[in-house]
Amino acid sequence: MTGQITLTRPDDWHLHVRDGQALHTVVPHTAAQFARAIIMPNLRPPVTTTAHALAYKQRILAAVPEGLDFQPLMTLYLTDNLPADEIARARDAGVVALKFYPAGATTNSDAGVTELRKTYATLEAMQRAGMPLLVHGEVTSPEVDLFDREAVFIEKQLIPLRRDFPELKIVFEHITTKEAAQYVAHADRFTAATVTAHHLLFNRNALFSGGIRPHYYCLPVLKREIHRQALVQAVSSGSAKFFLGTDSAPHPAHLKEHASGCAGCYTAHAALEMYAEAFDAAGVLNRLEAFASFNGPAFYGLSRNTGSVTLKRETWTAPESFAFGEAQLKPLRGGESLPWRMV
């Protein structure tokens, strides 16, 4: 049994850090584990211009603790009317990608895209610039069962999008189903996916075990066990198309423990530990380094990090909560013991 594993310093390719006081709680957690992270733009108002992204980046950097070296990779929020000429400006300023939220699909997505056709001039510019499109892949039609929204998205939106933009780099974010895992595994080199630790560790029973558990609620929602197994199989296969994206998504505890609790699981405090647990349970700890540290930079055309992190098989108990501005933040599995610990 492996007792310890050392990895090249990894990156988080899908992260929410919010803004203001919240940054001072969550940015240190991520910076302690990852060299870089792709910062999601779903603030209120959303990050829709290069200028806004650069100002946000400075606020994030101001929350990085002294002595830690951490680089936020910024994104813009695609809307129906984000102008095509913003793409060259964004690329020249170091913005790494655009995020596509179908309007109404998830937290702070009301300004998202109502119809993909409306964004075609901008997508054209992105394809030309080699700028990736990061996709929250769920349809929003109320008549589609919540648990089917990702699979339906592939047929209704992703396949047509891929046909219309054959060389647009697309990251199917936080995939949760066997349909998504299979789609990506068989896709060409312009398509990749991120996988969260919680979707590798849990199925939808976690939402209801012993009572309703709001801290396990995120979008896309946890699925059946066969889907969890398909995700584990995808990351175990060694395919370079799958890489680490925590989708750590902090919300004030009182808004999650609420009659209409918001979607998002906070995992940044123990992200690598949870991935190690999932890979270990599948017997593929040897696949963790490529997933966490190599496949992402290869897809984005960035260099690998230098330095390393070490995880040890050692039980510890994660804190039950953190201060979060005026509120509290309850991390996923807070107060529970975890089998892996970062050294």
Question: In the bound complex, what is the minimum distance in angstroms from residue 68's beta carbon to Zn ion?
Answer: 23
| Region of 4-12, 49-57, 239-247, 267-275 interacting with Zn ion (CB under 5 A) | 239-247
**Residue 32 binding partner per list ligand NCD, Zn ion, none, with a CB distance cut-off of 5 to 8 Å that depends on partner kind:** none
Residue nearest to ligand NCD (CB): 264
Which of the following is catalytic: 69, 110, 188, 247? Answer: 247
* AA identity, residue 293: S
- Under the binding rule (CB under 5 A), the answer on residue 241 touching Zn ion is no
- Complex with ligand NCD: residue 195 or 249, whichever CB lies closer: 249
Question: Looking at 11, 12, 179, 247, which residue binds Zn ion (CB under 5 A)?
Answer: 247
Q: Shortest gap between Cβ of 253 and ligand NCD (angstroms)?
A: 14
Binding site for ligand NCD (CB under 6 A): 16, 42, 106-107, 136, 218-219, 247, 249, 263-264
* 136 touches Zn ion (CB under 5 A): yes
Return all residues near 6 (Cβ < 8 A) that are at least 6 apart: 308, 309, 310, 311
Q: Does the active-site annotation cover 247?
A: yes
Q: Which position's Cβ is nearest Zn ion?
A: 136
- Least distance (Å) between residue 307 CB and ligand NCD: 28
Nearer to ligand NCD, 132 or 264 (CB): 264
SS3 per-residue string spanning the chain: CCCEEEEECCEEEEECCCCCCHHHHHHHHHHHHCCEEEECCCCCCCCCCHHHHHHHHHHHHCCCCCCCCCEEEEEEECCCCCCCCHHHHHHHCCCCEEEECECCCCCCCCCCECCHHHHHHHHHHHHHHCCCEEECCCCCCCCCCHHHHHHHHHHHHHHHHHHHCCCCCEEECCCCCHHHHHHHHHCCCCEEEEECHHHHHCCHHHHCCCCCCHHHCCCCCCCCHHHHHHHHHHHHCCCCCEEECCCECCCCHHHHCCCCCCCCCCCHHHHHHHHHHHHHHCCCHHHHHHHHHHHHHHHHCCCCCCCEEEEEEEEEECCCCEEECCEEECCCCCCCEEEEEEC
Contacts of 324 (CB under 8 A, 6+ apart): 21, 22, 25, 250, 252, 253
Q: Which of Zn ion, ligand NCD, none interacts with 57 (beta carbon under 5 to 8 A by kind)?
A: none
For ligand NCD, the closer CB: 181 or 222 = 222
CB of 5 to ligand NCD, least distance (A): 27
CB 306 within 8 A of CB 10: no
Shortest distance in whole angstroms from residue 297 CB to ligand NCD: 21
Question: Which of 8/196 has CB closer to ligand NCD?
Answer: 196
Q: Which stretch binds Zn ion (CB under 5 A): 98-106, 122-130, 177-185, 221-229?
A: 98-106
- Residue with Cβ nearer Zn ion (171 or 285): 171
Considering the rule CB under 5 A, would residue 138 count as an interface residue with Zn ion? no
Q: Among residues 16 and 36, whose Cβ is nearest to ligand NCD? A: 16
Q: Is 99 in the site for Zn ion (CB under 5 A)?
A: no
User: Footprint of Zn ion on this chain (CB under 5 A)?
Assistant: 106, 136, 247
Active site residues: 247
